[in-house]
Amino acid sequence: MSAGPAARPGPDDLRRTFEAVPARAADAEGPFADSWWGRAWVQALESLSMDEGRLARGRTYADGGHVAAITVTPGRVIAYVHGSRPRPYRAELRLRTFPATDWDSFLDAVAARPGHLSALLDKEMPHSLVDTAGEAGIRLLPASGDLDPDCSCPDRGLPCKHVAALCYQTARLLDSDPFVLLLMRGRGERELLDELGRRNAEHSARERPGTPAVPSVAADEALAERFLPPLPPPLPVPPYPGEPPSYPELPGARDPLGLDHLATDAAARAHTLLTTGEDPLAGTDVWQDAVRIAASRPTAGLTATTRALYRELAYATGRSTTDLARAVAAWRQGGAEGLDTLQTPWDPPAGPFDRARPALVAAGFPRFQPWRNRMTNTSGTLQLRFGRDHRWYGYESDPGEDDWWPRATPDADPVAALTALRG
């Protein structure tokens, strides 16, 4: 088996990034993938494709090393693919994830087969797992209706050659780690193995009916039996958060000013929780919190401290500093709603979005072309994005580039938002 792509760890095992796979030798023959799982993926892909020509061109792109680093999260595989133009295209493959009921059926079927269970706990995936899943009514490999391709290129093929290249390169990921398939279906390796370990323990306990069950004891009852004295009353909450400690500058240590900023933010959050009983960041995920922290830095240029903080936050979230800087601009533009508008295209219902183009034409603005919740002018330099908060967010890009950055203040009126965008 050939060496597979190396994976960089994300903040947890629900986000994995694999380095780009080099081009195959020009005289390479035989199947594209080496392992049973990789070849099974390719076979499933080729049986689903409606356009053999695009699929063949995608395989040529994959063979030629045109696919950059690949990021895998539950239900999504994303990479930049270099095509015929200098700027790469963003290719995305969405795969249907399993609901909780399907996962329960699948894990029950695995736990009932000691051979499968021991193999998975040893981090091996036997190919007969496909048959076991099928007996439980679950298809591990993609079937009709499972795949939803998307690409920033103008080709509307399903899939286009760039997504086809990403599909083929995904088979190489399965060569090196077939657990990637289970991640695409919705479960990370750590959660999966923990759940299998728990079911294995339950199964073993059922096989030993003569073993007396150990009754559980509530923590307060266990502590009461030791006659522990009551805890002293809590100290009064200070009127404002305290200052963080001073961090010495040690060789090889993290940036002390960046740590100071993070500690100050944590102290303010803890103080709010103590005084109000509510977490001001409840429901915020790791990426949103990283963007929020970066956005709280001063805006007058990137100081050495700010650059160090950006590097730390980008590394912790598996993103680039450019991704973080763009997200910070969106957060400063509209908070969490602005970040969602940057990241997620969506299909707005009929109403304000449909009335925007006639309103812009009536105001004397040039023609705009709609796509989902976005409208772009014909020169490709100005764009309005309709947020889920029913506000219009302005974006700019250099001519001929697909590199959009948030600009200006959002507004419920598209004419006002475009006027602010144009200065």
Do 51 and 191 reside in the same domain of the chain?
Answer: yes
Average pLDDT over residues 58-70: 89
Do 415 and 332 reside in the same domain of the chain?
Answer: no
Query: What is residue 1's predicted lDDT score, i.e. its pLDDT?
Result: 40
At what angle are helices 161-176 and 36-48 packed, to 10 degrees? 160
Name the pLDDT band for 341 (thresholds 50, 70, 90).
very high
Condensed to tens digits (0 to 9), the pLDDT of residues 172-211 reads: 888 888 888 899 999 888 888 888 888 777 766 665 555 5
Do 300 and 177 reside in the same domain of the chain?
Answer: no
Considering the chain, what percentage of its residues have pLDDT values greater than 90? 17
Span of 130-139, 170-179, 203-212, 268-277 with lowest mean pLDDT: 203-212
Do 153 and 94 reside in the same domain of the chain?
Answer: yes
Do 183 and 296 reside in the same domain of the chain?
Answer: no
Average pLDDT over residues 315-344: 90
Name the pLDDT band for 405 (thresholds 50, 70, 90).
very high
The last residue of a domain, from among 275, 304, 338: 338
Name the pLDDT band for 227 (thresholds 50, 70, 90).
low
Are the CB atoms for 326 and 311 separated by under 8 Å? Answer: no
Do 37 and 149 reside in the same domain of the chain?
Answer: yes
Do 275 and 363 reside in the same domain of the chain?
Answer: no
Task: For residue 122, give the amino acid letter.
Answer: D
Condensed to tens digits (0 to 9), the pLDDT of residues 234-263 reads: 778 777 776 666 655 555 555 566 666 677
Do 119 and 268 reside in the same domain of the chain?
Answer: no
Give a yes or no: residue 100 inside a domain: yes
Task: Supply the range of the domain harboring residue 174.
Answer: 7-200
Average pLDDT over residues 359-379: 88
Give a yes or no: residue 165 inside a domain: yes
Long-range pairs, 145-151, Cβ under 8 A, ≥24: 145/96, 146/95, 146/96, 147/48, 147/93, 147/94, 147/95, 147/96, 148/93, 148/94, 148/95, 149/91, 149/92, 149/93, 149/94, 150/91, 150/92, 150/93, 150/94, 151/81, 151/89, 151/90, 151/91, 151/92
Do 23 and 69 reside in the same domain of the chain?
Answer: yes
The count of structural domains within the chain is 3
